[in-house]
């Protein structure tokens, strides 16, 4: 999980692409996934996601994200199949509509989550923020909020690990099989995490202020984010994905 | 009390490993584990506490294999004071915080006993029971964490850089408390510490680590006097030991000295003898 949102350096077309184009491409995949109900289109989008991972030289990472998501998807699939009772009964309580809807939901989840994780593999978070400010005219404070949230995920994971260790040392049994006991253990985890997060927020704010946070404008960025041929191709692919999703019944 | 038998451990994510650790720590000892950052000190104490399980070898505490002991059972034997008390404190009042560890280990049915022990600790540390732990100073929070660790009367107390971020007075208060505990109750103390002055003042034996291996094991004064070893482990002995070493002669063997005047007096005593 720690490495999930980590940037992997490289020089692929996807690495060189304008961060805004990458956001556009990601959003287009998501929009296309929500517009279509066709399982084949969803499957195509999933293959497209994985191909993007391969093109970015992060094939292993893309597949490991896919593997991680697959477990959640399987659980979701079973739930959907059990709860949807419409359509023709195939066997036991399983219906054809239940199976199709469950497959669509799971595929959609995979299609949407993969590019969101992949974009962070090929783009540095600071580049996303700077490009958003420069190209999309997003106020820096908002872009900063987004990047800080992403950047803090591994730190939260580490903090959580440390807190669990501290509580385990005091005799809190996290490996207990009793569900109610487990629920009761959430509190000793949440309180320290919340307090440390609030403290960290204060420290981050101070650190940002002393480095001239309020003086930052669109012109402050040193790096310029231009549009090239790769970006044009990505825009065209984005449009094609959405149009395809709408037109293919 | 603590017995490491060729213990090795490596983190799955790649991180610092320790290999082939073998040592014995007897009941009532005060041991410091020394070494530069990344030497494997914290991994070693986590292995003693059972937070990490050896990938090979055995770690025995009080005759029990840490890899096979339940969390609550192990917490009765070993108390662990972490560097950061904020990862431990989770209750609204100091009283509740101290009682929390007791409930986890003794069980909720022992409420009377828990209340009595909590009162005892509140008095010992001069805390008000209704104080909010998070509004206390860093040093006081560390003391709350220590109080709640000691509540279950562990036979072994592990301290992972307990004095980091504390001022001299706070540091002395905590260390004096631990020293008394070690001397009167016979609690075995294992301490990871970067402050060599603290090590010299309180610990009696030191294990020196580098690159995940045990370099040396012996009385603190002898360890500090071994300049080649200190250099190998990238450590700097306390100033008083350095001065004694430079002066040589009677001074170099004035082992008990912790202050300059003590060093001069000890050297004079040696000369007279």
CB B227 within 8 A of CB B197: no
Whole-Å CA distances, A162 to A118, A124, A167: 28, 27, 9
Helix axes A96-122, A59-83, angle to 10 degrees: 150
For A180, residues 6+ apart whose C-beta sits below 8 A from its C-beta are none
Whether the per-residue pLDDT at B128 is higher than 60: the answer is: yes
Angle, CA of A182, A187 and A191, to the nearest 5°: 150
Do residues A113 and A31 both lie within one domain? yes
Do residues A114 and A174 both lie within one domain? no
Give the tokens for residue B71.
């969390």
Do residues A229 and A203 both lie within one domain? no
Local structure of residue B185 (DSSP, 8 states)? I
Do residues A93 and A22 both lie within one domain? yes
CB A156 within 8 A of CB B61: no
Distance from CA of B86 to the nearest CA of A (A): 6
Q: Choosing among A154, A168, A169, which should be mutated to test the B contact, i.e. which has the most B CBs within 10 A? A: A169
Do residues A122 and A151 both lie within one domain? no
User: Strand, coil or helix: what is A97?
Assistant: helix
For B264, residues 6+ apart whose C-beta sits below 8 A from its C-beta are none
Angle, CA of B256, B260 and B263, to the nearest 5°: 40
- The pLDDT tens digits for A5-47 are 678 787 888 888 888 898 899 999 999 888 888 888 888 888 8
Q: Which long-range contacts (CB under 8 A, 24 or more apart) does A94-99 make?
A: none
* Mean pLDDT computed over A110-120: 85
d(CA B19, CA B6): 8
CATH 1.10.357.10 fits B2-237, yes or no: no
Residue A157 domain-assigned? yes
Task: Count the helix, strand and coil residues of chain A and give each as a percent rounded to the nearest 5.
Answer: 75, 0, 25
Report CB contact under 8 Å: B75, A191: no
Count other Cβ atoms within 10 Å, centred on residue B24.
12
More confident residue, B25 or A82: B25
Distance from CA of B158 to the nearest CA of A (A): 10
Whole-Å CA distances, A198 to A60, A192, B61, B93: 36, 10, 38, 19
Residue A3 domain-assigned? no
Cα-based torsion angle of the residue sequence B256, B262, B264, B268 in order, rounded to the nearest 10 degrees: -70
CB pairs under 8 A between A and B: 71
d(CA A144, CA A208): 10
Do residues A175 and A240 both lie within one domain? no
For A136, residues 6+ apart whose C-beta sits below 8 A from its C-beta are A20
Structural domain range at position A198: 138-217
d(CA B245, CA B228): 13
More confident residue, B181 or B107: B181
Q: Of A104, A99, A74, whose CA–CA distance to A85 is shortest?
A: A99
The number of distinct structural domains making up chain A is: 2
Do residues A111 and A151 both lie within one domain? no
Angle, CA of B261, B266 and B271, to the nearest 5°: 125
* Mean pLDDT computed over B103-126: 86
d(CA B198, CA B176): 10
Closest residue to B89, CB basis, from A171, A174, A192: A192
Choose the most confident range, by mean pLDDT, from A151-155, A240-244, B251-255: A240-244
Q: Which residues of chain A lie closer than 8 angstroms to B159, CB-CB?
A: none
Q: What stretch of H or E contains B162?
A: none
Domain map (residue ranges) of chain B: 2-237
Q: Of B98, B80, B103, whose CA–CA distance to A181 is shortest?
A: B103
Do residues A126 and A154 both lie within one domain? no
Lookup result for tokens 């009761």? A184
- The pLDDT tens digits for A40-98 are 888 888 888 888 888 877 777 778 888 888 888 888 888 888 887 777 777 777 787 88
Of all residues in chain A, the one with the smallest CA distance to B158 is: A169
Whether the per-residue pLDDT at A112 is higher than 80: the answer is: yes
The fraction of chain B above a pLDDT of 70, given in percent, is 97
Distance from CA of B218 to the nearest CA of A (A): 28
Report CB contact under 8 Å: A165, B86: no
Do residues A177 and A124 both lie within one domain? no
Residue A64 domain-assigned? yes
Burial, B137: exposed, middle or buried (Cβ in 10 Å; 0-12, 13-18, 19+)?
Answer: exposed
Whether the per-residue pLDDT at A1 is higher than 50: the answer is: no
Do residues A41 and A115 both lie within one domain? yes
Distance from CA of B154 to the nearest CA of A (A): 11
Count other Cβ atoms within 10 Å, centred on residue A22.
24
Mean pLDDT score across all residues of chain A: 83
Q: How far apart are the first and last CA of chain A?
A: 37
Give the tokens for residue B35.
């070494």
Q: Which residues of chain A lie closer than 8 angstroms to B89, CB-CB?
A: 191-192, 195
The fraction of chain A above a pLDDT of 90, given in percent, is 2
Whether the per-residue pLDDT at A185 is higher than 50: the answer is: yes
Distance from CA of B215 to the nearest CA of A (A): 28
The ipTM estimated for the assembled molecules is 0.83
Q: Where are the beta strands (DSSP E) in chain B?
A: 2-9, 18-25, 30-34, 56-61, 64-65, 78-81, 156-160, 188-192, 205-210, 213-219
Q: Which residues of chain B lie closer than 8 angstroms to A174, CB-CB?
A: 71
Q: Which residues of chain A lie closer than 8 angstroms to B88, CB-CB?
A: 163, 166-167, 170, 192
Whether the per-residue pLDDT at B15 is higher than 80: the answer is: no
Do residues A230 and A212 both lie within one domain? no
For B170, residues 6+ apart whose C-beta sits below 8 A from its C-beta are B137, B138, B139, B140, B142, B143
Report CB contact under 8 Å: B101, A171: yes
Do residues A154 and A123 both lie within one domain? no
Q: Where are the beta strands (DSSP E) in A152-242?
A: none
Q: Which residues of chain A lie closer than 8 angstroms to B82, CB-CB?
A: 162, 165-166, 169
Residue B22 phi, psi dihedral angles, 5° rounding: -135, 120
Report CB contact under 8 Å: B51, A192: no
């Amino acid at each position: 999980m720690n490495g999930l949102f980590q940037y992997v350096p490289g020089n692929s077309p996807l690495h060189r692409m304008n961060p805004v184009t990458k956001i556009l491409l990601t959003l287009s995949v998501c929009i296309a996934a929500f517009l279509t109900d066709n399982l084949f289109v969803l499957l195509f989008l999933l293959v497209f996601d994985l191909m993007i991972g391969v093109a970015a030289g992060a094939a292993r990472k893309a597949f490991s994200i896919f593997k991680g998501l697959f477990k959640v998807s399987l659980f979701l699939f079973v739930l959907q199949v059990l709860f949807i009772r419409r359509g023709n009964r195939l066997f036991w309580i399983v219906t054809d509509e239940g199976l199709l809807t469950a497959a669509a939901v799971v595929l959609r989840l995979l299609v949407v989550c993969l590019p969101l994780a992949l974009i962070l593999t090929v783009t540095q978070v600071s580049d996303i923020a700077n490009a958003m400010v420069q190209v999309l005219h997003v106020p820096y404070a908002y872009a900063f909020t987004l990047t800080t949230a992403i950047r803090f995920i591994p730190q939260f994971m580490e903090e959580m690990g440390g807190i669990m260790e501290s509580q385990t040392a005091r005799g809190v049994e996290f490996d207990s099989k009793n569900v109610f006991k487990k629920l009761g253990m959430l509190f000793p985890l949440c309180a320290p995490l919340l307090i440390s997060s609030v403290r960290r927020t204060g420290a981050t704010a101070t650190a940002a202020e002393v480095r001239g946070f309020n003086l930052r404008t669109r012109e402050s960025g040193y790096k310029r984010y231009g549009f090239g041929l790769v970006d044009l191709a990505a825009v065209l692919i984005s449009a094609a994905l959405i149009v395809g999703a709408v037109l293919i019944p | 009390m603590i017995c490491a038998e060729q213990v090795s451990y490596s983190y799955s994510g790649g991180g610092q490993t320790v290999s082939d650790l073998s040592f014995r720590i007897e009941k009532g000892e005060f041991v410091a584990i020394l070494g530069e950052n990344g030497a494997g000190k914290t991994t070693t104490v986590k292995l003693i506490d059972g937070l990490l399980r050896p990938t090979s070898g055995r770690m025995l505490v009080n005759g029990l294999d840490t890899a096979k002991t339940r969390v609550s059972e192990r917490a009765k034997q070993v108390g662990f004071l972490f560097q950061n008390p904020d990862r431990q404190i989770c209750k609204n009042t100091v009283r509740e915080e101290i009682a929390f560890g007791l409930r986890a280990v003794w069980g909720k049915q022992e409420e009377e006993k828990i209340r009595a022990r909590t009162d005892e600790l509140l008095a010992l540390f001069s805390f008000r029971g209704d104080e909010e732990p998070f509004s206390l100073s860093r040093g006081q929070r560390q003391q709350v964490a220590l109080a709640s660790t000691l509540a279950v009367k562990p036979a072994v107390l592990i301290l992972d850089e307990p004095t980091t971020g504390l001022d001299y007075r706070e540091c002395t208060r905590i260390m004096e408390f631990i020293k008394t505990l070690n001397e009167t109750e016979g609690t075995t103390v294992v301490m990871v510490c970067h402050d060599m002055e603290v090590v010299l003042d309180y610990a009696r034996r030191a294990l020196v680590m580098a690159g995940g291996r045990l370099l040396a094991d012996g009385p603190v004064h002898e360890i500090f006097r071994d300049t080649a070893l200190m250099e190998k482990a990238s450590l700097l002995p306390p100033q008083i030991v350095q001065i004694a070493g430079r002066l040589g002669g009677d001074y170099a063997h004035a082992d008990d000295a912790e202050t300059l005047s003590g060093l001069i007096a000890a050297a004079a005593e040696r000369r007279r003898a």
